[in-house]
Amino acid sequence: MHFPANEKETIMLYRLIQNRLGWYIKHIQIAFPDVVIINQRGQTLIAEFEYIASNFHSHKHDPAGCDLIICWHNDWPDAPLPVWALESIAFEEARIVTDLITEPCSQNAELEGQVAILERGLRCATTENAILRERLGMVIYGIEG
């Protein structure tokens, strides 16, 4: 399984799991703050993406400028804002799937089949992400062909 290695990949992961979180990216920009997210009730939050939460401080962002930090890893327990660490969400979902498979029940065969499908999808997504990163790099560096 591929985990984010930087802020951009953290944003890509969020896009993949936003349906499960119930908060969808409404607006994204390059400057601080990165995004406005919205839930199904129309509530909005202003968020800043970081690879690790403490980068918010390193980048000298003003906590008054957003509502929360979304990151891969929360290394800042005393952050002045709420922190959504996608790492804990990803590992919790993996644990739930593992628990379901190892529990003795008549549906294990069906669950194992579903997990195999998910694993194939993850491998395809990882390959697709590598291709997209390569294409993006070509565009950024003007090598687009």
Task: Kindly report, residue by residue over 39-63, the tens digit of the pLDDT.
Answer: 999 999 999 999 999 999 999 999 9
Residues 81 and 120 in one domain: no
Residues 111 and 82 in one domain: no
DSSP symbol at 1: -
Q: Is position 94 within any domain?
A: no
Q: What is the pTM (predicted TM-score) of this model?
A: 0.65
What separation in angstroms does the CA of 104 have from each of 37, 91, 98, 108? 40, 22, 12, 7
Q: Is position 98 within any domain?
A: no
Alpha helices for 39-107 (secondary structure H): 55-58, 86-102
Residues 65 and 128 in one domain: no
Q: Strand 23-28's sheet: what is its strand order?
A: 23-28, 35-39, 44-52, 68-73, 83-85
Q: Is position 95 within any domain?
A: no
Task: Kindly report, residue by residue over 58-106, the tens digit of the pLDDT.
Answer: 999 999 999 999 999 999 999 999 999 998 887 766 555 445 444 554 4
| Structural domain total, the chain | 2
Burial class of residue 90, CB neighbours in 10 A (0-12, 13-18, 19+) = middle
Give residue 127's pLDDT band: very low, low, confident or very high (50, 70, 90): low
